[in-house]
């Protein structure tokens, strides 16, 4: 956990808001069926994801410039260079519909934090993320959701962090930022936030411990 300015606690709190990534921290995907489909057509595991997440394909949908259907078309178009068009589209569609789940332990930790400070989700996601949160049972979980597709800016652009802090109603140097990607955390720290690179729930527990200790008699 890093913060170059090391702000003093205010009212006993180490920070006044938690800004948290969605994918790779709260939400996780089951790639089993997609992998089976790739194997069935002779593709190396992970090929579809590599195509889908290439900047030229995913940035437009993450900035809200393309719909998910347009993303599917872009993925399928590239895959069709090595597969029949029908198979390529099936893989592209499956990628965008990969089953996912929420880590309930992480959700519970964040709910405990909400007893003290606002929790804002900060995610590079598609225009469907609100529906996805509803499917996870988290439609009303966060105090706010800063979705790249809604604001047209993706992490690690400084503006998405500024918007998140504004939504939380606190200065940036009073925010804890949690993300599974080091470059996103580094950008947050450069703006004065306390940053945590998430690898396991122990990372979140350590970061929240000073805040949650306030509830301990």
By the 8 A CB rule, do 178 and 24 touch?
no
pLDDT at 12: 79
Phi, psi of 65 (to 5 degrees): -80, -25
pLDDT at 31: 97
Mean pLDDT of 114-121: 96
Q: What percent of the chain has pLDDT over 70?
A: 94
Mean pLDDT of 121-147: 96
Mean pLDDT of 140-144: 95
Return left, alpha or beta for 169; rule: phi > 0 is left, psi -120 to 50 is alpha, else beta.
Answer: left
pLDDT at 214: 82
Q: ∠132-130-175 over CA atoms, to 5°?
A: 110
CA–CA separation, 26 and 92 (whole Å):
24
**Using 50, 70 and 90 to split pLDDT, how confident is the model at 8?**
very low
pLDDT at 10: 53
Question: What are the pLDDT digits (tens) for 18-51?
Answer: 999 999 999 999 999 999 999 999 999 999 999 9
pLDDT at 215: 62
Question: What are the pLDDT digits (tens) for 150-205?
Answer: 999 999 999 999 999 999 999 999 999 999 999 999 999 999 999 999 999 999 99
**For residue 87, is pLDDT > 90?**
yes
């Amino acid at each position: 956990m890093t913060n170059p300015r090391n702000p003093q606690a205010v009212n006993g709190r180490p920070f006044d808001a938690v800004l948290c990534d969605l994918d790779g921290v709260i939400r996780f995907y089951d790639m089993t069926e997609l992998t089976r489909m790739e194997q069935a057509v002779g593709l190396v595991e992970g090929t579809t994801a590599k195509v889908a997440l290439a900047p030229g394909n995913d940035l437009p949908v993450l900035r809200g410039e393309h719909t998910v259907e347009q993303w599917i078309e872009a993925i399928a178009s590239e895959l069709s260079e090595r597969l029949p068009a029908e198979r390529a589209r099936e893989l592209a569609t499956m990628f965008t519909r990969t089953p996912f789940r929420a880590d309930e332990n992480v959700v519970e930790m964040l709910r405990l934090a909400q007893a003290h400070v606002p929790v804002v989700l900060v995610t590079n996601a598609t225009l469907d993320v609100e529906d996805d949160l509803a499917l996870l049972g988290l439609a009303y979980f966060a105090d706010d959701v800063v979705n790249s597709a809604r604001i047209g800016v993706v992490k690690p652009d400084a503006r998405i962090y500024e918007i998140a802090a504004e939504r939380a109603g606190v200065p940036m140097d009073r925010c804890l930022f949690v993300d599974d990607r080091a470059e996103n955390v580094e950008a947050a720290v450069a703006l004065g936030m306390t940053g945590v690179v998430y690898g396991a729930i122990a990372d979140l527990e350590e970061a929240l411990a000073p805040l949650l200790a306030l509830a301990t008699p």
